[in-house]
Amino acid sequence: MRPLILALALALAVPVIALPASATATGPGHGSEHGPQRVQDLRDLARKLRINIGSAVDVAVLRAEPDYKARLNREFDHLTAENAMKWESVEPERGVYTWQDADEVVRNARRNGQQVRGHTLVWHNQLPAWLTTGVENGTIGATELRQILRDHITTQVRRYKGQVRAWDVVNEAFDEDGTPRQTIWLTHLGPGYIADAFRWAHRADPHAKLYLNDYNVEWNVPKIEATLTLIKQLQAQRVPIDGMGFQGHLGIQYDYPGDWANVMRRFADLGLEIAVTELDVRMVLPVTPEKLATQADYYGRALSDCLSVRACREFTVWGFTDRHSWVPGWFDGEGSACLLDENLAAKPAYDKLLTTRRVSGR
């Protein structure tokens, strides 16, 4: 390392030594070491690309592991609570609100100059037992359920008014064949629950960006078409919808969704903001250098696809370290889905992102 860089790093207390080779290299594509192209980390990349780069955050880990916290705050300028803002987390018993974990994410964001994605207001998973049981045994009827949903959205959005940039208002509304997912919301409230949810959220924080969010919309045609149709219907009813979130849970055993940029563009053409909201790229274990190279390619293509669409303004990964990832618990024999390994060392995918450049016109 050159003395000038070392002196600068020490003065700024930037842990340059922990950066991957590509982050400090001055070879082709990196510009001169004093030039505008040198990329330090993902936050630096985000600034240069004029996009937000975010991660899901596990609050228990944020509290318990200082190296996780330091790395999260160094690399990311946008945060999503992995579980802490879900209904079962914020209202485990009826009328008993437990905001500590969700507050922790928002507080961490404020202290570190990060923006926040609120995840998620209306979903069929991770609902509190008092709610699902009440609906199942008939003690909560349709009229009351609608009021409960309205109160939930209003209370949560108001609490973080001005502090959450974007909300995943409705999550995973469709099945794989493009039919509306049969959830307690659809079954008991009818399809109008979606418009209602957006309207209630907008009333509670008129400046927050309100998103529909889903997985497999990167490539699944029936889901893509159904979602586009729904959005057009909502817009025709003047429902305040601002964005489409592509979760982006990918695996290298499947082809990369090569049409993704075009799909993003179709949503952007409706006037929507676009975000990659939960990207990860899993693999069948064991890890090999070849698999890591393919994974790096997928991460890089996902970022390039986002950058190729002007409306795509957030690129969020669903956890940044293999030390804490939902993947091994959900997919037998799969893992290694994140940008950093268990020791927070950069994988080829991380290096690949750092070398991604802005496309002209953005």
Work out how close the CB of 360 gets to ligand G3I at its nearest, in angstroms, rounded to a whole number. Answer: 33
Binding mask 191-230 for ligand G3I (x = CB under 6 A): ------------------------x---------------
Q: With respect to ligand G3I, which residue has the nearer C-beta, 315 or 356?
A: 315
Work out how close the CB of 326 gets to ligand G3I at its nearest, in angstroms, rounded to a whole number. Answer: 3
Q: With respect to ligand G3I, which residue has the nearer C-beta, 267 or 356?
A: 267
Question: By the 8 A CB rule, do 296 and 351 touch?
Answer: yes
Please list the residues that pair with 273 across neighbouring strands: 243
Q: With respect to ligand G3I, which residue has the nearer C-beta, 49 or 90?
A: 90
The answer to whether 278 contacts ligand G3I (rule: CB under 6 A) is: yes
Chosen residue from 14, 20, 74, 83 binding ligand G3I by CB under 6 A: 83
Please list the residues that pair with 220 across neighbouring strands: none
Q: With respect to ligand G3I, which residue has the nearer C-beta, 123 or 350?
A: 123
Work out how close the CB of 320 gets to ligand G3I at its nearest, in angstroms, rounded to a whole number. Answer: 13
Rounded to whole angstroms, how far apart are CA atoms 32 and 29?
A: 9
Cα Rg, the chain, nearest whole Å: 21
Work out how close the CB of 238 gets to ligand G3I at its nearest, in angstroms, rounded to a whole number. Answer: 28
Chosen residue from 247, 294, 295, 321 binding ligand G3I by CB under 6 A: 247
Work out how close the CB of 278 gets to ligand G3I at its nearest, in angstroms, rounded to a whole number. Answer: 5
Binders of ligand G3I among residues 104 to 133 (CB under 6 A) are 125-126
The answer to whether 82 contacts ligand G3I (rule: CB under 6 A) is: yes
Work out how close the CB of 280 gets to ligand G3I at its nearest, in angstroms, rounded to a whole number. Answer: 9
The answer to whether 55 contacts ligand G3I (rule: CB under 6 A) is: no
Rounded to whole angstroms, how far apart are CA atoms 202 and 239?
A: 9
Q: Who's near 78: CB < 8 A, 6+ residues apart?
A: 52, 53, 54, 55, 114, 115, 116, 117, 165, 314, 316
Question: By the 8 A CB rule, do 130 and 175 touch?
Answer: no
Q: With respect to ligand G3I, which residue has the nearer C-beta, 87 or 200?
A: 87
Question: By the 8 A CB rule, do 312 and 275 touch?
Answer: yes
Please report the sign of the dihedral spanned by the C-alpha atoms of residue 117, residue 122, residue 124, residue 130.
positive
Give the relative orientation of helices 260-268 and 221-236 as an angle to the nearest 10 degrees.
10
CB atoms within 10 A of CB 188: 17
Q: How far apart are the first and last CA of the chain?
A: 33
Chosen residue from 326, 338, 349, 354 binding ligand G3I by CB under 6 A: 326
Rounded to whole angstroms, how far apart are CA atoms 247 and 171?
A: 10
User: Which residue's CB atom is positioned nearest to ligand G3I?
Assistant: 326
Q: With respect to ligand G3I, which residue has the nearer C-beta, 75 or 278?
A: 278
Rounded to whole angstroms, how far apart are CA atoms 328 and 325?
A: 7
Work out how close the CB of 32 gets to ligand G3I at its nearest, in angstroms, rounded to a whole number. Answer: 41
**Residues with catalytic function:** 172, 278
Binders of ligand G3I among residues 136 to 195 (CB under 6 A) are none
Question: By the 8 A CB rule, do 131 and 87 touch?
Answer: yes
Q: With respect to ligand G3I, which residue has the nearer C-beta, 39 or 57?
A: 57
Rounded to whole angstroms, how far apart are CA atoms 112 and 202?
A: 26
Sites of contact with ligand G3I (CB under 6 A): 82-83, 125-126, 215, 247, 278, 326
